[in-house]
């Protein structure tokens, strides 16, 4: 399980102060880490890690994702996520089954821990031909 270390430094985008990740020490270098606690860079110089996060877009949150559940690949959308708060409450990720923009279509909310498990992954081209439910 990944937790935000005391040595992780929150990085907020300069333009709007939005949290876009962390920079953590990695030996004699630094590593940029995404909001899902996944490496965004290899160990690099501080300015390279900072630049990677500074130019990270949060648009990935609006994109469809895949949740592997009960042997099926379910298309979902992220509706909420909150990282762990060091010394505070545990984080969470909430996804909903994709309704493809239709009004009145029932959907399911699914609560996941933060950081999300590997079963939640980005949609790939190979997923496009798969049935979703």
What ranges do the domains of the chain cover? 9-56, 61-129
Q: What is the pTM of this model?
A: 0.75
34 burial level (CB within 10 Å; 0-12, 13-18, 19+): middle
pLDDT band at 133; cut points 50, 70, 90? very low
81 burial level (CB within 10 Å; 0-12, 13-18, 19+): middle
Quick check: helix, strand or coil at residue 53? helix
* Residue listed under structure tokens 């190979």: 126
Give the residue-averaged pLDDT of 6-33: 93
């Amino acid at each position: 399980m990944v937790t935000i270390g005391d040595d992780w430094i929150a990085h907020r985008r300069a333009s709007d102060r939005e949290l876009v990740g962390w920079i953590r020490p990695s030996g004699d270098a630094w590593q940029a880490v995404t909001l899902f606690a996944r490496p965004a860079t290899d160990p690099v110089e501080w300015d390279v890690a900072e630049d990677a996060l500074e130019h990270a877009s949060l648009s990935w949150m609006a994109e469809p994702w895949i949740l592997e559940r009960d042997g099926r690949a379910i298309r979902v959308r992220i509706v909420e996520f909150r990282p762990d708060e060091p010394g505070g409450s545990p984080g969470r990720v909430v996804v909903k089954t994709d309704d493809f923009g239709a009004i009145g279509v029932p959907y399911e909310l699914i609560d996941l821990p933060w950081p999300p498990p590997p079963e939640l992954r980005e949609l790939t081209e190979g997923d496009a031909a798969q049935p979703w439910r």
